[in-house]
Amino acid sequence: MLDVRDKRILEALQEDAGVAVADLADTIGLSVSACWRRIKALEDHGMIARRVVLLDRRKSNVATTVFVGVRTSRHSIEWLEAFRKAISDIPEIVEAYRLTGEMDYLLRLVVPNVDIYDAVYKQLISRLDFTDITSFISMEELKFTTAVPLRYA
């Protein structure tokens, strides 16, 4: 169970993982060494999975987001593993989820334009058979965050 200071540390690191420990300690009201020990403990226990840099998608020329719903008629571990392998080396696919309901899988892609999405689509259909692939091109990003809500932790 996390205490209030751990949650404050995690909230601050989710905003900026590159914040100096001294600045973070000052904000939280801890000594630098106590703050560092808490961060290390959060890492050791797996609460902090990794620290990353978020790139500006427009400046990286991948401003277009495409959500792709995938349906298959095959529901086996073998097909799931083949699908996992098929999407693993396509960098434009940045997220993939197995779902309940009418859609079996949901993918999120970031691409420069629809032509590049079409090339990714062709890669997918050349690797596996699908019942249906439905694409949704995002017109506007209304909310995007990588921060996890900590009120349940």
Residue 114 is encoded by which pair of tokens? Answer: 């629809």
Burial 4-31 (b: 16+ CB within 10 A, else e): eebebbbebbeeeeeeeeeebbeebebe
pTM above 0.85, yes or no: yes
How far is residue 153's CA from residue 151's CA, in Å, rounded to a whole number?
6
pLDDT per residue as tens digits for the range 120-148: 999 999 999 999 999 999 999 999 999 99
Phi, then psi, of 116 in degrees rounded to 5:
-70, -40
Phi, then psi, of 148 in degrees rounded to 5:
-95, 135
Which domains are delineated in the chain?
A: 4-44 (1.10.10.10), 64-137 (3.30.70.920)
The mean pLDDT of 106-128, rounded to a whole number, is: 97
pLDDT per residue as tens digits for the range 20-79: 999 999 999 999 999 999 999 999 999 999 999 999 999 999 999 999 999 999 999 999
Contact 107, 68 (CB under 8 A): yes
Residue 1 has pLDDT above 90, yes or no: no
